[in-house]
Structure 1
Amino acid sequence: MWNIIIKDLLPIIIIMVLGYYSGKKAYFTDEDSRAFNKLVLNYALPAALFVSIVKGSREMLFSDLKLFLISLVVIIGLQFWAYFSCQKFFHHTKAEAAISSLIGGAPTIGFLGFAVLEPIYGASTTVALVVAVVAIVVNAIAIPIALFLLNPGGSNGQKASHAEAFINAIKEPVVLAPIIAVVIVLAGVSFPSEFDPIFQLIAKANAGVAVFAAGLTLSYHAFTINKEVIYNSAVKLILMPLAMLVLGKVLGMEPDKLQMLVLCGALPPVFSGIIIGSRYQTYVQIGTSSLAVSTILFAVTAPLWIYVARIFC
């Protein structure tokens, strides 16, 4: 676990602090942070999602329906829990709650999934399966739902209808790319490896730029720790892995896979939520503060969940 903290969590914190420092020193402006977010959301992140999903296989995705169903039920269930509780408990708008739904209901599986699981469980096909399934649920289902709930607007600046909101969500590169990748995998088409460098070159910019932009965004919106930030962190770091553990035990999921899934559920919030929120200037302060606090607290909660999962699995 110490290696994970040093190699994976510490770089996130340092790059976020660097972005925060750059903003405070006015090396970059708030407008620059939105430009970085646009780069990530429209190009780097879609490329990263596409490459990570398309490398899977149809057989792998259908090899464990329990894994898929538990991931789907817990992630989407907590996404809607975060969405409605954000409105009910903290009196936010539906658009703000849509961003909150990703903070509480979507782990940053693409960035930290392999980095956290492989040092503990090895570079096995089971690890690849768990990461791939959770990544598909987050990127091809949870993010499109959040964009649909966000409903940034229809034609002529008016509020979009449900149909138009759905179409607008599907048209977003961050939604379209993983959906196309899933279709390719389900069709049994082998994506040519010769095309990998085209996607990976821009995809490699995703994590670093996203974390830097989060720090830069935070520098222009006062960092805060309040009841809502603590609540968001608790939903993501405690409630989600707990729900996965309980449901996995009830359905008789294999112990090793369940341990991996619980740890995936305990990951910090997906960076896409902060990127989307910053682009639409929605839920930025609370969302970015929740991400920062969750990332720091993960260093404490992760060993706890590793211990608990091994006892009860």
Structure 2
Amino acid sequence: MGKIIITDIVPIIVIMALGYVCGKFHYFDNDQRQGLNKVVLNIALPAALFISIVKATRGMLAADLTLTILGFVGIIVMFMLSYFLCKLMFKHNTQEAAVCALIAGSPTIGFLGFAVLDPIYGNTVSTNLVIAIISIVVNAVTIPIGMYLINLGQARDNEKLAMAAANKQLPTAAPAKGDVAVDPTKDPKTDKDAEISVAASDKKGKAKRHIKNKNVAALVNALEQPVCWAPILAIIIVLIGIRIPDQVAPTFDLIAKANSGVAVLAAGLALSTVKFSFGWETIWNTIYRLLITPAAFLGVGLLCGMGHDINKLAMLVLSVALPPAFSGIIISSRYNIYVKEGASTTAVSTVAFAVTCLLWIWLVPKF
């Protein structure tokens, strides 16, 4: 266990601290920071998600139907529960709650899955199966759902601002897709609450189309993002049964390897731009990510009869007890949504995992 902390947890903390220091000393300006986030979100992360998912097979998904169903349903339920609780308890809007769910409701399985589970349970078929299932649902299901909710929330906010401007008889035009949605009564240069639209810098120069239905528009906008369509394409390839040749993997691995390190650095940069928050929301998100989610999986797993294979149940519990997915904080920083709470939750949860990891390793075999 000490080896895991030294080789996996400590580097995350050090690189995040490095990003924080770089941000405080203005080593990166805002444009450079956003460019760094864009490289991760639009190139490195999609490549990492794609190559990690296509390594799975239909046989792996069918090998243990109970594990597959519990993994898919459980992650989605805990993701949506985090979303609704964020809105209910802390009064956040739709897009903020969506980013909260991407952070508090999703484990960083792609980054720490093998690094944590392999030394404890060995590099076995069961280990690979658990990591593959959780990785697929986190990357190919919850990220598209989160992006859809972000687009939907911002579309509603744009509509409300347009209506408010019209009621005040101020000349305004409905924000075009890709524009920043701001209150026309405020100076956009000083309005710190203005959020960047998800489509902001990715749609410039492209033909604009108008979709009246907000739900359809939000879905289309989400599916146009590489971080959404890349994992969905990968899962389709897996379900069809197409095998990607091993010789293709290095092509994706070269850029995918940049994902984790740059994502953690970017998380530190994001944290440097806001006041660190160690309030009730950060504490709640940390408890939800590291304690409530794995406890729910443990309870349901026992009810579903997984108690006969305690090692597999322990691997499942530990895989969903990992710190927040770094894709969440990248999306948060990239689009300037839920940055303070998201970065603080990521930092606190990563440190706290060194303790909660030991708790779950000790506790699950007791059942």
TM-score range, shorter chain: over 0.9
The equivalent of 1:122 in structure 2 is 122
- TM-superposed CA distance for 1:160, in Å, is 6.7
- Say whether 1:76 aligns with 2:76: yes
Alignment match of 2:326 (pick from 244, 249, 271): 271
Distance (Å, rounded) in 2 between the aligned partners of 1:60 and 1:265: 19
Q: Which runs of 5+ in 1 are unaligned?
A: none
Aligned equivalents of 2:276 and 2:331: distance in 1? 18
TM-score, with structure 1 as normaliser = 0.97
Name the structure 2 match of 1:223: 276
Structure 1 residue 281 and structure 2 residue 339: aligned?
A: no
Q: How much has 1:62 moved relative to structure 2?
A: 1.3
CA distance in 1, matches of 2:31, 2:268: 14
Residues 287 and 189 of structure 1: CA distance in aligned 2, closer, same or farther (over 3 Å): same
Q: Does 1:214 align with 2:300?
A: no
The answer to whether the 8 Å contact 1:30/1:220 transfers is no
Unaligned ranges ≥5, structure 2? 159-174, 182-211
TM-score (norm 2): 0.83
Check conservation: 1:42, 1:172, Cα contact below 8 A.
yes
RMSD (Å), alpha carbons:
1.4
Residue identity opposite 1:48 in structure 2: A
Q: Which residue of 1 aligns with 2:176?
A: 156
AA aligned to 1:114 is F
**1:91-106 aligned within 5 A:** 91-106=91-106
How far apart in 2 are the matches of 1:2 and 1:74?
Answer: 30
The structure 2 residue matched to 1:296, chosen from 325, 340, 351, is 351
1:23-102 equivalent positions in 2, closer than 5 A: 23-102=23-102
Assess if the C-alpha contact under 8 Å between 2:47 and 2:253 holds in 1.
Answer: yes
Mapped partners of 2:32, 2:77: distance in 1: 35
Cα shift at 1:81: 1.3
User: Which residue in the other structure is 1:308 paired with?
Assistant: 363
Structure 2 letter corresponding to 1:156: A
**Helix, strand or coil: the match of 1:268?**
coil
Contact 2:78 2:293 (C-alpha < 8 Å) held by counterparts: yes
Shift of 1:175: 1.1
Q: Which residue of structure 1 aligns with residue 8 of structure 2? A: 8
Hey, what's the Cα distance between the residues in 2 that align with 1:33 and 1:295?
22
Could you give the per-residue CA deviations for residues 193-244 of structure 1, whole angstroms, max 9, x where no partner exists? 2211211110010000000011011111111100000000011000110001
Instruction: Summarize deviations over 1:55-88 as a string: whole Å, max 9, x none.
Output: 1111111111211221122211111111111111
Whole-angstrom CA distance in 1 between matches of 2:66 and 2:258:
34
Counterpart residue type for residue 37 of structure 1? N
Which position in structure 2 is the counterpart of 1:194? 247
* Of 165, 168, 185, the match for 2:218: 165
Give the counterpart letter for 1:95 in structure 2. Answer: Q
Q: Describe the SS at the equivalent of 2:302.
A: helix
Distance 1:19 1:160, change over 3 A: farther
Task: Pick the aligned partner of 2:295 from 242, 247, 256.
Answer: 242
Contact 1:30 / 1:217 at 8 angstroms: preserved in 2?
no
SS for the counterpart of 1:48 is helix
Alignment partners' CA distance in 2, 1:189 and 1:128: 19
Question: Based on CA coordinates, which of the two structures has the bigger radius of gyration?
Answer: 2
Aligned partner letter, 1:123:
N
Q: Quote the offset at 1:40 in angstroms.
A: 0.5
Pairwise CA distance, 1:32: 2.0
Residue 31 of structure 1: CA displacement? 2.7
Q: What is the CA–CA distance in structure 1 between the aligned matches of 2:273 and 2:31, rounded to whole Å?
A: 10
Larger deviation: 88-97 or 71-80? 71-80
Contact 2:72 2:133 survives alignment (8 Å): no
| Counterpart Cα distance in 2 of 1:71 and 1:193 | 27
283-292 vs 20-29, greater mean Cα deviation = 20-29
CA distance in 2, matches of 1:198, 1:136: 20
Q: What CA distance in whole angstroms lies between the structure 2 residues aligned with 1:33 and 1:64?
A: 43
Structure 2 counterpart of 1:11, one-letter code: P
- SS class of match (1:204): helix
Paired with 2:25 and 2:218, the residues of 1 have a C-alpha distance of 39
Could you tell me which residue of structure 2 aligns to residue 135 of structure 1?
135
How big is the shift at 1:29?
2.0
* Counterpart in the other structure of 1:20: 20
2-structure distance, mates of 1:197, 1:160: 41
Q: Which shifted more, 152-161 or 276-285?
A: 152-161
> Which AA in structure 1 matches 2:303?
V
